[in-house]
Structure 1
Amino acid sequence: MRGGHAAALVAGLAFAQFWSGAAPAAAVASGVEAGSPLELTEIIARPKVVDLKVSPDGRHYATTAVTDDGRTILHILDRRTMAVVHSEVYGGPLGVGEFGWHDADHLLITSTYKSELAEGRGSAGIFILNVKTKEIRRVWGGEGTSDYGGFEGGDLGARIDDRHYWLTVGPSGSTYSEFPFFYLYKLDIFTGRATKVLKSPSRAASFVFDKDNQVTHAIGLPPDDFDTTVVHRRKGDEWVLEGTYRNAEGVSVPVRWHKWDTNRILYRDNRDAQTFGYYWVDATTGAKELIYREPRVDADEVVFDEDDVAIAAKHQYDYPTYVPLKPDHRLVVRRQRLVAAFPGQQVSIESSTADGIEHVLRVHGDREQGQFYLWNEYDGKIRHLLDPRPNVKAADMPATQAVRFKARDGMELVGYLTVPQHKPAKNLPLVVLPHGGPHGVRDSWGYDMEAAAFANAGYAVLKINYRGSGGYGKDFHYGWYRHWGLEMQDDLEDGVLWAAGAGIADVDRVCIYGASYGGYAALMGVVKTPDRYRCAIGYVGVYDLNIMHESGDISRSKAGRKYLDDALGTDPADRAARSSTPHVDRIEVPVFLVHGMQDDRAHFRHYEEMREALKAKNHRFETLLVPRAGHGARDLASVREVTCRMIDFLDRHIGDREPTDPPDECQFPGSKKLPYEYFEGTS
C-alpha cells in the first residue's frame, strides 16, 4: 500500500533512460486515426522476452520469459543461430528471479516464489549454471543462515573476486512485529560456503562498500518506523551512528565511494531542499559539493565516466529527461548518436561483452514494452535481436502523453493521458485511474498494459500524480498524510475537469477505477462527488479506514501500526468520515467490486462489508472474486477475465451499450471461470 525510502543506485557507464521527442504528445493531440482495435488477448499477454543479457565472450544470450501462470523461466541461446541450447524451468510455484553472467561459462540465477499462491516470500535459493556442461548446482538454499531460523531471503550483491560475492540475508515474509536485522555473508559460488561477516547495526539494512570491497556504511530502519532512515558508519570493528533522519524532514544517505579518490563519497540528500540531489562529500571534513539537483522533482541518477566525472543526470518531472552536464563529453556525444536511431523512445544498455564493444540495448516507450537490439560500438551497427510481442506492432497500440494542469488551489499536477489509437481524441468517455500506494508511489511515462487495454476499447485514460505521490518533493509526499478523501481526492476531480475543458473527455461519461489505494479513491469518488462519475470500479480496494487500521498485514507490525496512525489518523470517527462503506447511502451510480480472496493487504473484509452495505441498500452492483489471488490477480487467465469484465462494465455505463444490457460472458478458451455476481438492485 505504500512506498518506502530507498537510495537510488548511480549508473556507471550505462546510459540513462531518456525522452527524445514530443511525437506521442503530437499524436494524441491530433486525434489521428491509426488502426482498428486489437483483440484483448493481444494486449493482455505475457511477453516472449523479459530480459536479455549477452555473455562476456559474446557467444551466448541468457533470456527470461514469463509463463501463463506467472512463473519466470530462463533460456540460453546460441549467439550464432539464436537457437535455445538450454532452459531452466522450476517446478511448482518456483521461478527464475534475477540472473547474471559470472564469466563466459557460468550464469548465476536466483529462484523466487513467482506464483499467485506465494506472495510475499523471498528468494528460494541461488544457483550456478555451467553453460558448457548444462550442470546446475544450488549454492545457497535460504535456510538457517541467520539467527532467525526458518525460511530466509537472500540478496546477492557485489562481486568480490573471481569466486566470491556479498550476500545479504534476512528472514523472508512480513510476520515480524519489528523489522529484522540483516546479515552480511561472503559467499563462495563454487563451493556454496557462506561465511558470516557481520550483522547490520540497524534493521532491514543495505550496505555500502569502498573500492577494496570493505563495508563502510549501513543504511536501515529503526525497529518500528517506516518513515525514519538510520545511517551507521563502520569504524574498525564497531558501528558509529552517523545520522537518524525523519524522512519528511530530509535524509542524507551514502550511495558509493569515488572510484579513485578514497576520501570522497557520493551522497543522495534532500535535507536542504525539497527534492533529492547528489553530492560528493569529503569523508574527512564533511564538505559537500553539489553535482546535480532538479528543484521540481527528485534526481533519479547521475551518470559518470570511467574517471568518475559526472557527465549527465536523469529525472522525470513528466517525461524521462536526460540532462547533459558535460555536453561535449565523448560519452554524451556517443549517446546522442545512438538514441537518434530511436526517436520518441527510451534506450538503456542491459549488458555488454567483456571487451566493451558489443552492447544489448532495450528500446521501449509508451506503445512498446521493449525491443532488444545488439549495438556494435566498433562499427556502429545496430541489429534487432528479439521482439517480446511479435504479433503486435507498436503503431497499433494506444499512445500516451504527459499532461500538466492546475488543481483548484493553483498547484500544478502532472498526469498521463492515454487515448484510443483508432478514433479522434475528442469528447471521449474517460476512465480516471489513480495509482495505488498512495504515499511515495507515482505514475510515470511508459507502457502500461492496463491503460492500453482500456484505451484500445475506446476510452481515454487519465492517470494523475495527485498530492501524496512520490518524487515531487518532501512536502508533496509527506505533507498530505491524513488527507485521504480530501485534497488527494479533489486532485482527481480536477483532472476530470481539465480533460473535459480540453475537449478530450465527455464530462457526462466518466468512470473512476483503481486498485489498492486506487480502489479507495474510486469508491470515495462516488461518495464525495456522486454527480461527477457515472460508475466506479474498486479492485482489491480499501473501503473502510478503520478496517485497514485493524486488519491486514500492515497492522500486524509496530512500524505498520505507526504508519497507519500517521497516514490515516488516530481518530476512528475521522477515519470513518473518510471511508466509503459507512457512507454507501451517498453512492448513486453502479459499482463493480473485484477482490482476491487471499488478500492480506487490503483485507478481504473490505470487500465483504462493502458488498453487504450495497446489498442492504438494494443498490446495483457487480462483483468478481479471484479465489487463489492475494493483492491482485497474477495468472494470465485471471488477469484477462478481470480486464474483460471491467471493460464490459465500462461499455454498459459510459460506453456504447446500455446499463440494462446483460453482461458479457468473458470466457476464454481453456480457462476456468471466476465467481461473478450481478446484483440488479433498485437504486
Structure 2
Amino acid sequence: MIRAMTYDAVRLLPRSILFGDPEYAGPCISPDGTLLAYLAPHEGVLNVWIGPRDKPDAARPVTQDRLRGIRAYGFCHDDSTLFYLKDEEGDENWRLYLLDLGSGEERCVTPYEGVQTQLLAHNTWHPTRMLLGLNRDRRHLHDLFELDLVSGDLVKVCENPGFFGWLIDTDLRVRGGVSYSDDGGKVLHLGSSEDGFQPWKHVPQVDAGASGFRGFSRDGSSLYFTSSVGANTSRLFVRDMATGTETELAGDPSYDVRGIVFDPHTQHVQAVSFEKERLEWRYLDAAFEREAGLLREALDSAGAPDGELDIQRNERSGRLWNVTVSPSDGPLHLYVYEQEERRLRLLFHHAPALADAPLAAMEPFDFLARDGLRVHGYITCPRSVPRTALPAVVNVHGGPEARNSWGFGSEAQWLANRGYVCVQVNYRGSSGYGKSFVNAGDKRWGREMQTDLLDAVDHLAALGTIDAGRVGIMGASYGGYAALAGAAFTPEAFRCAVALCGPSNLLTLLKSTPAYWKPALAYQRARVGDPDTERERLWDQSPLSRVDDIAIPVLIAHGANDPRVRVSEAEQIVKALQRNGLAHEYLLFEDEGHGLVRPANRMRYYTAVERFLATHLGGRAEN
C-alpha cells in the first residue's frame, strides 16, 4: 500500500474540479474587437457567454443549451452573428446554428436528419458567405454548399467527385481536393468544379500521414503544403501557382511540422512549430519573431507560468491576440494581449480552483524498445512521496495516429494525486516523430505497438520508479483497445484494465465505420488491415479472440451512440466475460458517443474508475 502518512500531506483534489466542465474556456475576440466570448457553464451546461472586451465580468450567456453543451463556436465576420455546432447525443452528425447578436434570434441552418455538417471556410474578406460540407445527398461524400448569412440561402456549389478534403482559397474558391488511392496513398488535385480537377501530387502511403495541404496566401499565388516524400519527416513547402516551382521553407530531421502561424492579412507563413519533448517554434518572419519575443517578455513580467504558448488572432486588425499558456502543473492561463500597446491582461484560469492546487510536473522520458527503436513518452509522479516502487497506470492515448504532449492534463493530474505514476507512451504508430516511426505501427496493433507499452514499464521498473507488480492500464478509443489487449494478451503484466470506447474485435470495427469515412477507407486499411483479405491476422490481434486468457479485472465503458467504435464492440466482449465468469464492470452511457461529454457521465465514469484502481492498485479515492 501507499505510505499513507506521507502521502496524506498532499490535498486530495476533487474529481468535480478535474473532470467537470471548465469554468472558462475557448475565449474569442470578435472580428471588430469590441466583444469577448468564451465558454462557461450556464445552469450546469457549457454555453457561450459574451460581453464587452474590456469588461469580461459583464458577460452573459447568449446560448441556452440544456443537454450536451456547446464546444465549437465562433463569431461570423459580419459582426452581427455567432455560429455554433451541436450533435444529438454523440452521433457526430453536427448541425450548424446561427444566433443574431442583436435580436437574440436563433436558427438551425442545417436541420437535416442523419447529416453531418463540416464548416470549411469563412473569413473577413467575404463576411456574409460560408462554405459548408454536407453529406445530405450522399451519405459517404460531403458536397460543397455556400451559405448566405443574410438571406439564409444554402446552395450546392460543387458536387464531391470523391474527395476526403478540399483545397479552398481565401476568396472561397475551390482550387482542388484530396483523395486516397487504392493502396492508401494520398492524391492532391488542382483545378475547379467548372474545368475539372487534375492530380497534382501523388503521395505514397508511407508519406500520406504527415503530407497535405495547409493553405493559400491571400492573393492566391502561393499554396502551402507539407510533405515527407524524400525525407523521414514532413517539411513545409510553398508552391508558386504561376510557375509550379516548389520551395522548402522549414523542416527538422527528427520531427514533423506541427503548427503553422499565418499572417492574418497576407496569409503568408510567419512561424512553424515542431513538437519535441516541448513545443519548439521556428520563425520565418523577423517582425513576428520580435513581436512574439515581446509577448514572452510581457508574460514573464506578469508572472505567467512556464508553459506552452498558443496565439489566436481572430480580430481583423491583428492587434488583439488571444493568448493561452498551458503549464503541465497548473491550470491554463488565458490572456488578451494588445500588441501595439504591449499590454497584457489575464482574463482567467480555465479552472480557478486549481490555481493553488498541489499539481505535479509532467516529465519527458525515453527508452529503447526490445527491437532497438527509440520511444518517447512522459511520466507524471505523485508529489511528496519517494519515487521508489510506486504503483503506476499506463494511460494509453487514442488515435493511434496522435501523440501525448507536454502540458496540463486532467487524467495525469488525477492519477498522480491519487498516488500513481501516470505513464504516457508515444508508442510506434504515434504521429510527430517522422514517417519511419509512424509506419512502424502499420498493422502492428497488439504486437509491437503493445510491447512498446510493456517495455516502458520494464524501463521505469528497472530505474526503481515503479513497482512492476502494481501496474494498471487504461485508455480511450485506441487506448481502450490497448487496455483490452493488455488484459487478453499479457494479463501477467497488469493488475487491472480500464477501456473506454475501445474496440474488442478488429474485424467488426473495420466493417462498421461511418459512411463518410469511405473516401479514406483505403488509408485506414493500410494502417490497420483489410478484413476481407487479412481476416485471420486481424482476428488474432483482437482481444476478443483471447478473452479466455483474461485473468485480471476489467472495467469497460462505452457510449451507446458511438459512430466510430460501435457499442457492439463493448457488448461482444462483455458477453464473453459474463459467459466465462470473469471479473468485470460495464458502464453503458445511453446519451453519449465516442467519449464522454456530459459532466454527470464523466463523474460517474471517473468515480467508478477511481474506486476500481484503488481496489486493485492501492491508491487513494475520494468518497
**For residues 429 and 375 of structure 2, what CA distance do their matches in structure 1 show?**
11
Q: TM-score, normalised by structure 1?
A: 0.80
**For residues 476 and 413 of structure 2, what CA distance do their matches in structure 1 show?**
16
Question: In the TM superposition, what is the alpha-carbon distance from 1:460 to its structure 2 partner?
Answer: 0.8
Residue 654 of structure 1 is matched in structure 2 by: 617
Asked if residue 141 in structure 1 is aligned to residue 109 in structure 2, the reply is yes
Could you tell me which of 524, 534, 541 is aligned with 2:485?
A: 524
**Contact persistence 1:554–1:561 (CA under 8 A):** no
Letter in 1 for 2:459: W
Q: For residues 553 and 325 of structure 1, do their structure 2 counterparts lie closer, same or farther at Cα, with a shift above 3 Å needed?
A: closer
Q: 3-state SS of the aligned residue for 1:248?
A: helix
Question: In the TM superposition, what is the alpha-carbon distance from 1:46 to its structure 2 partner?
Answer: 0.8
CA offsets per residue over residues 639-673 of structure 1, 9 Å max, x none?
Answer: 1121111111111111159xxxxxx9x99xxxxxx
Question: In the TM superposition, what is the alpha-carbon distance from 1:226 to its structure 2 partner?
Answer: 6.7
Asked if residue 120 in structure 1 is aligned to residue 120 in structure 2, the reply is no
Q: For residues 503 and 68 of structure 1, do their structure 2 counterparts lie closer, same or farther at Cα, with a shift above 3 Å needed?
A: farther
Asked if residue 401 in structure 1 is aligned to residue 358 in structure 2, the reply is no
Asked if residue 277 in structure 1 is aligned to residue 235 in structure 2, the reply is yes
Q: 3-state SS of the aligned residue for 1:592?
A: strand
Residue 487 of structure 1 is matched in structure 2 by: 448
Range 340-349 or range 488-497, more displaced:
340-349
**For residues 145 and 555 of structure 2, what CA distance do their matches in structure 1 show?**
47
Matches within 5 A, 1:284-295: 284-295=242-253
Residue 413 of structure 2 is matched in structure 1 by: 452
**Contact persistence 1:70–1:634 (CA under 8 A):** no
Could you tell me which of 39, 60, 63 is aligned with 1:64?
A: 39
Asked if residue 410 in structure 1 is aligned to residue 372 in structure 2, the reply is yes
Q: For residues 280 and 125 of structure 1, do their structure 2 counterparts lie closer, same or farther at Cα, with a shift above 3 Å needed?
A: same
Could you tell me which of 497, 511, 514 is aligned with 2:458?
A: 497
**For residues 420 and 550 of structure 1, what CA distance do their matches in structure 2 show?**
42
Could you tell me which of 492, 495, 506 is aligned with 1:534?
A: 495
**For residues 361 and 136 of structure 2, what CA distance do their matches in structure 1 show?**
40
Q: For residues 95 and 353 of structure 1, do their structure 2 counterparts lie closer, same or farther at Cα, with a shift above 3 Å needed?
A: closer
Q: For residues 85 and 307 of structure 1, do their structure 2 counterparts lie closer, same or farther at Cα, with a shift above 3 Å needed?
A: closer
Q: For residues 385 and 551 of structure 1, do their structure 2 counterparts lie closer, same or farther at Cα, with a shift above 3 Å needed?
A: closer
**Contact persistence 1:37–1:422 (CA under 8 A):** no
Asked if residue 266 in structure 1 is aligned to residue 228 in structure 2, the reply is no
Q: For residues 508 and 129 of structure 1, do their structure 2 counterparts lie closer, same or farther at Cα, with a shift above 3 Å needed?
A: same
**Contact persistence 1:417–1:463 (CA under 8 A):** yes
**Contact persistence 2:49–2:59 (CA under 8 A):** no
**Contact persistence 1:551–1:603 (CA under 8 A):** yes
Q: For residues 200 and 499 of structure 1, do their structure 2 counterparts lie closer, same or farther at Cα, with a shift above 3 Å needed?
A: same
Q: 3-state SS of the aligned residue for 2:253?
A: coil
Question: In the TM superposition, what is the alpha-carbon distance from 1:420 to its structure 2 partner?
Answer: 2.1
Asked if residue 102 in structure 1 is aligned to residue 77 in structure 2, the reply is yes
**For residues 224 and 170 of structure 1, what CA distance do their matches in structure 2 show?**
24
Letter in 1 for 2:91: E
Q: TM-score, normalised by structure 2?
A: 0.87
**For residues 191 and 517 of structure 2, what CA distance do their matches in structure 1 show?**
31
Question: In the TM superposition, what is the alpha-carbon distance from 1:436 to its structure 2 partner?
Answer: 1.8
Q: 3-state SS of the aligned residue for 2:542?
A: coil
**For residues 310 and 162 of structure 1, what CA distance do their matches in structure 2 show?**
21
Q: For residues 93 and 416 of structure 1, do their structure 2 counterparts lie closer, same or farther at Cα, with a shift above 3 Å needed?
A: closer
CA offsets per residue over residues 254-301 of structure 1, 9 Å max, x none?
Answer: 4333446x6443222222212211112233443322110112121123
Question: In the TM superposition, what is the alpha-carbon distance from 1:524 to its structure 2 partner?
Answer: 1.7
**Contact persistence 1:111–1:126 (CA under 8 A):** no
**Contact persistence 1:110–1:126 (CA under 8 A):** yes
Q: For residues 172 and 125 of structure 1, do their structure 2 counterparts lie closer, same or farther at Cα, with a shift above 3 Å needed?
A: farther
**Contact persistence 2:418–2:619 (CA under 8 A):** no
Question: In the TM superposition, what is the alpha-carbon distance from 1:227 to its structure 2 partner?
Answer: 5.3
Asked if residue 509 in structure 1 is aligned to residue 467 in structure 2, the reply is no
**For residues 516 and 344 of structure 2, what CA distance do their matches in structure 1 show?**
52
CA offsets per residue over residues 103-138 of structure 1, 9 Å max, x none?
Answer: 6x523313422x6x24211123334322xxx44354
Residue 163 of structure 2 is matched in structure 1 by: 203
**Contact persistence 2:404–2:426 (CA under 8 A):** yes
Q: How many residues align?
A: 611
**Contact persistence 1:128–1:189 (CA under 8 A):** no
Q: 3-state SS of the aligned residue for 2:595?
A: coil
Q: 3-state SS of the aligned residue for 2:152?
A: coil
For structure 2, the residue ranges without an aligned partner over 5 or more in a row are: 1-5
Letter in 1 for 2:541: R
Question: In the TM superposition, what is the alpha-carbon distance from 1:432 to its structure 2 partner?
Answer: 0.4
Letter in 2 for 1:625: L
Residue 307 of structure 2 is matched in structure 1 by: 345
**Contact persistence 2:48–2:61 (CA under 8 A):** no
Residue 76 of structure 1 is matched in structure 2 by: 51
Residue 547 of structure 1 is matched in structure 2 by: 508
Letter in 2 for 1:407: A
Q: 3-state SS of the aligned residue for 1:548?
A: helix
**Contact persistence 1:252–1:270 (CA under 8 A):** yes
**For residues 488 and 346 of structure 1, what CA distance do their matches in structure 2 show?**
28
